[in-house]
Amino acid sequence: MSWKTLIIKTDNVFAEPLSEALLELGALSVEIHDADAGTVDEQPLYGEPGQPSEQLWQKTEVSGLFEQSADVESIMQSAVEAAQLAELPGYRVDIVEEQDWVKLTQSQFDPIQISQRLWIVPTWHQPPDSAAINLMLDPGLAFGTGSHPTTQLCLSWLDQNVLRGETVLDYGCGSGILAIAALKLGARYVTGVDIDPHAVKASWANAVLNACDAEQFFFTTDYSATNNDSNVIAQADMVIANILSNPLIMLAPVLAQATRQGGHIVLSGILQEQGQGVKEIYQQWFEMQTAQELDGWVLLTGIKK
């Protein structure tokens, strides 16, 4: 069995009307993406809170997936009329052949070596080094598979700095990968916080998958409402936050309060050009430094004054 993909070149004005029209005309799914993706003209949309950004790319492609029998040319004409375009835009039709989609997806994720003793391993792979600390983690709804530079920066820092018995707060825990790594590396107790309940659910599931001791971890969506709970760390030895620069700036007082005197703050998700601004904010409470850089991202660390 095969399908047809109708791919329309347009702009940020007509992308959504065309997308809605394709769905109305029977598309099984619709995708909007940057027409220049993968080229030097690719347009990044970071969408950080508090920063204005374009809603869509200036040069946009709208893709609609249809059954093999669909009359794509007729659908194209109807979509143009529904979206009220003045003329027919450029488009093409690709054939999508039947594949083992699960196997194809899995083939994109191989084990990732963070250090000599720390690996991230999808569950469908055998650990390359059975004697290492192998974090079993599959791609899912929450951010954090170990492949992104910001996650690797955090994991590398934890590998070098978690010794034995520390308490760790992972703020913006996503998949729970950093909290789980901290436990496996020797932390005594970790708390993970994320505003997304799907992330919290994923973190619990990943902790169980990695055979973490249930008495040593706790994940929640609301740290401020539960920080008096006996299951939540009031002040941690290490507070790590891998999110984005603007949220890090807004959360600075909260993260500072959550760090014990003499404790460590670890901040990631920061582009190199944003590093100095974030560092200046946190210097109110911490002795800050740029610990490491990777692929245009920086890791900031500090010790609570």
- Domains of the chain, by residue range, sit at 2-98, 108-304
pLDDT in tens, 190-222: 999 999 999 999 999 999 999 999 999 999 887
pLDDT in tens, 114-138: 999 999 999 888 999 999 999 998 8
Average pLDDT over residues 26-43: 87
pLDDT of residue 50: 44
Domain 108-304 fold: Rossmann fold (3.40.50)
pLDDT band at 52 (very low <50, low <70, confident <90, very high): very low
pLDDT of residue 101: 54
Using a pLDDT cut of 70, give the percent of the chain over it. Answer: 88
pLDDT in tens, 246-301: 999 999 999 999 999 999 999 999 999 999 999 999 999 999 999 999 999 999 99
pLDDT of residue 48: 45
Average pLDDT over residues 50-75: 82
Contacts of 236 (CB under 8 A, 6+ apart): 166, 167, 168, 169, 191, 258, 259, 260, 263
What CATH code is assigned to 2-98? 3.30.70.120
Does pLDDT of 224 surpass 80?
no
Query: How distant, in Å, are the alpha carbons of 60, 92, 258, 278 from that of 5?
Result: 16, 8, 50, 44
pLDDT of residue 40: 76
Contact 220, 226 (CB under 8 A): yes
